[in-house]
């Protein structure tokens, strides 16, 4: 069982990871749309 502090840092790391990849996904979406057009 993870401690509360460990859980907090895991969530923070996940949010940072999501933010980084959300930008990549938006970019890929734009590229896909450009390829279809």
Residue numbers of the domain that contains 36: 1-37
Q: If you average pLDDT over every residue of the chain, what do you get?
A: 90
- With cut-offs at 50, 70 and 90, classify the pLDDT of residue 30: very high
- With cut-offs at 50, 70 and 90, classify the pLDDT of residue 36: confident
Token match 């959300």: residue?
22
Q: What is the pLDDT of residue 14?
A: 95
Q: What is the pLDDT of residue 1?
A: 74
Instruction: Please give the structure tokens belonging to residue 24.
Output: 């990549």
Cα-based torsion angle of the residue sequence 36, 24, 22, 27 in order, rounded to the nearest 10 degrees: -40
Query: Does the structure show a pLDDT above 90 at 2?
Result: no
What is the Cα–Cα distance from 30 to 2, expressed in whole angstroms? Answer: 39
Q: What is the pLDDT of residue 4?
A: 87
Number of domain units in the chain: 1
């Amino acid at each position: 069982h993870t401690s509360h502090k460990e859980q907090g840092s895991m969530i923070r790391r996940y949010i940072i990871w999501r933010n980084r990849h959300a930008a990549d996904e938006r970019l890929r979406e734009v590229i896909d749309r450009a390829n279809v057009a």
